Amino acid sequence: MPAQLAKAWSVALVGLSGAMVEVEAAVSSGLRGTIVVGLPDTAVTEARDRCRAAMQVTDLGWPEGRVTFNLSPANLPKAGTHFDLAMVAAVGATQRLCRQEALRQVMLFGEVGLDGQVRPARGLLPALLEAVRHGFTKVIVPTAQLREAMLIDGVEVTGVSRIERLFAVLNGGNGDEPPPPTPVAPRSKPLPDMADVAGQFEAKWALEVAAAGRHHVYFHGPPGVGKTLLAERLPTLLPDLSPAESREVSSIHSLAGRPLSDLITRPPFSAPHHSASLPAVVGGGAKIANPGAISMAHRGVLFLDEAPEFSARTLDSLRVPLESGKVTISRAYAVTVFPAAFQLVLAANPCPCGNADTPGQECKCTPFTVRRYASRVSGPILDRVDIRQQLQPLQRSFLSRTHAVGESSAQIAERVAAARERQAARLAEVGFQVNGEVPGVVLRKQLPLPDGIELLEAAVAQGRLSARGVDKVLRLAWTICDIAGSAKPSQDQLHAALAMRRGSERC
Ligand SMILES: [Zn+2]
């Protein structure tokens, strides 16, 4: 029997970056068997068994003799189940189920079930973007992911639900219709809105400043005062994602296996539980890493409730992403870099039992436990946090008052958007976009100093404020000034910024 050879195309993904992969199938005489070469992970190695079973079950047949799959470039690690479709197509082409020419410039993506079904796989969006970048004009994807694939312009997308349909399409037939859009269930709960939160005007103001200047926040207060309620509503104050950000954020969510029927255009919210493992928070996986909660919060908000309960390793692993906006994960086969530029909201009870500093409640913790609890969030993380806001339980009388309902998210978001525009224009010459990013040296040397700066000098002289604390107050003063639309922070605005740092004895 002469050796037969055919090839198809797919994409290997390491993080969000991808590379085109040529999937070759060679059938040669000799001992029966199937091997996969070219740095495959377990899922790719198992693909040979899935593909063989599927082709036998569907009567498409499997070649006699030896089948060798080669995924090249060989030095690039391959992970995931989406190579199945290209492997089936290549082996089918060796058996004249389709012509080799039909596979030219076609990117194939999809997992194949033992019964011949073509199933969704993770990372379709970044794979498609890679194919488009390489000039591929046609892609074949699982029908279930057709709507996700249609989000990308510039490429002809065909959906197949079974491998028999794949060969029908490769022989000139039509693909499947996209599945009907998932009916939008009537929401049992309305979208979160700042107006839902009763009282806590000081904390809402702190969130408005946080949203406007992209400052990280630390909420302190007893359980039940609304820390989570407030944190969940921070994304509702932030501007829409730009088109480039939207593609990037959607790609991360596609890679994490979230079904997408639309591009994500709003800042995401990610809130890992304190018992979550380190890989679940920062990203991880057996041989090639998957995105973690901090990457799912990219361009949005990462909320760590009960922050002191997170392991020291997990908290420490946030340090680099907070500086660089990305996270690097080393695994056996590859070093993966994921974007992780998030806005951090930490929340903590005053002590392990939650009752310290709460009027009318008795704290059962020792002073030592209270101190140790507070110090679990390390200095390097707190250095990045500009706003520390204390929350107090609402008074009963306050709840019954009508004015307890405040502004809506949309009203606040309008001021935030205007403040963002003003900062971007003002900071363009020093190379930044938001006040939260501006380093201390730029604040002190390159930007004008606010009126009444003596106030801060006095606070430093009295030991009430550290040098780092000065930078934080300056940053906040600029944001408060940008919200107000003034040219330079006034003495009152400096006071307001200093107040926002109240209770920050450790900074
Ligand atoms: Zn306590």
Kindly write down the DSSP assignment for every residue of 49-95, as one continuous string.
HHHHHHHHHTTS---SSEEEEEEESTTS-B-SSTTHHHHHHHHHHHT
Distance 348 CA to ligand 1 centre (A): 12
Task: Find the 476 Cα to ligand 1 centroid distance in Å.
Answer: 31
- Return d(Cα 266, Cα 243) in angstroms, integer: 11
Burial of 184 (0-12, 13-18, 19+ CB in 10 A): exposed
User: Does the structure show a pLDDT above 80 at 358?
Assistant: no
Beta bridge partners of residue 10, listed in sequence order: 21
- Give the residue from 351, 139, 138, 122 showing the smallest Cα distance to 258: 122
What pLDDT shows up at residue 502? Answer: 65
pLDDT digits (tens, 9 = 90+) for 479-491: 999 999 999 999 9
- The rounded Å distance from CA 82 to ligand 1 centre is 51
The predicted pLDDT at position 506 comes to 39
CA of 399 to the centre of ligand 1 (A): 26
| Burial environment of residue 316 by CB neighbours within 10 A (0 to 12, 13 to 18, 19 or more) | middle
Range scoring the smallest mean pLDDT among 33-42, 86-95, 155-164, 480-489: 33-42
Residue for token digits 């909201």? 345
pLDDT classification of 505: cutoffs 50, 70, 90: very low
Cα–Cα separations (whole angstroms), residue 99 to 8, 25, 96, 172, 272: 11, 14, 6, 11, 49
Q: 222-271, pLDDT tens digit by residue? A: 888 899 999 999 999 999 999 989 989 999 999 888 878 788 999 999 99
Q: Residue 400: which residues within 8 A CB-CB, separation 6 or more?
A: none
Residue that wins the pLDDT comparison between 483 and 504:
483
C-alpha 48 to ligand 1 mean position (Å): 58
Q: Residue 68: pLDDT above 60?
A: yes
Q: So what's the pLDDT on residue 2?
A: 54
Q: For residue 29, what pLDDT band results from cuts at 50, 70 and 90? A: confident
Q: Is the pLDDT of residue 1 over 60?
A: no
Q: How big is the chain, counted in residues?
A: 507
Residue 503: is its pLDDT beyond 50? no
Q: How far apart are the CA of 314 and the centre of ligand 1, in A?
A: 24
**Contact assessment for residue 412 and residue 195, using Cβ atoms and an 8 Å cutoff:** no
What are φ and ψ of residue 474, in 5° steps? Answer: -60, -45
The CA 346 to ligand 1 mean position distance, Å, reads 19
Identify the CATH number of the domain defined by range 4-170. 3.30.230.10
User: Does pTM top 0.95 for this prediction?
Assistant: no
Q: What pLDDT band is residue 91 in, cutting at 50, 70 and 90?
A: very high
In the prediction, which pLDDT does 189 show?
65
Question: Alpha-carbon distance 287 to 199, whole Å?
Answer: 49
Q: Report in angstroms the alpha-carbon separations of 232 from 64, 101, 345, 446.
A: 59, 52, 10, 35
CA of 309 to the centre of ligand 1 (A): 14
Mean pLDDT across the stretch 182-209? 81
Residue 223 is which amino acid? P
Q: Are 79 and 287 in contact (CB under 8 A)?
A: yes
CA distances from 340 to 81, 296, 315, 436 (A): 25, 8, 14, 16
Mean pLDDT of the chain: 89
pLDDT band at 287 (very low <50, low <70, confident <90, very high): low
pLDDT band, residue 209 (cuts 50/70/90): very high
State the pLDDT confidence band at 504, using cuts at 50, 70 and 90.
very low
- Residue 186 pLDDT more than 80? no
Weakest-pLDDT range from 138-142, 270-274, 295-299, 455-459:
455-459
Confidence grade of residue 455 (pLDDT, cut at 50, 70, 90): confident
Domain ranges for the chain: 4-170, 190-406, 409-507
Assess contact for 362 and 355: CB atoms under 8 A. Answer: yes
Res. 21 pLDDT band, cuts 50 70 90: very high
**397 C-alpha to ligand 1 centroid (Å):** 26
CA of 367 to the centre of ligand 1 (A): 9
pLDDT digits (tens, 9 = 90+) for 98-129: 999 999 999 999 999 999 999 999 999 999 99
Contact 47, 3 (CB under 8 A): no
The Cα–Cα gap between 328 and 334 comes to 10
Name the β-bridge partners of 69: 25, 36
CATH of span 190-406 = 3.40.50.300
Å from CA of 273 to ligand 1 middle:
21
Cα–Cα distance, 250 to 244 (Å, whole number): 10
Cα-to-centroid distance, 486 and ligand 1 (Å): 43
Task: State the pLDDT at residue 387.
Answer: 93
145 sits in the region (left: phi over 0; alpha: psi -120 to 50; else beta) called: alpha
From the CA of 355, how far away is ligand 1's center (Å)?
A: 5
Q: What's the gap in Å between 351 CA and the centre of ligand 1?
A: 5
Contact of 498 with 473, CB cutoff 8 Å: yes
pLDDT the model gives residue 284: 84
Does 409 have pLDDT greater than 50?
Answer: yes
Residue 65 has pLDDT above 50, yes or no: yes
Question: Is the backbone of residue 306 left (phi > 0), alpha (psi -120 to 50) or beta?
Answer: left
Calculate helix-pair angle for 454-461, 467-484, nearest 10 degrees: 150
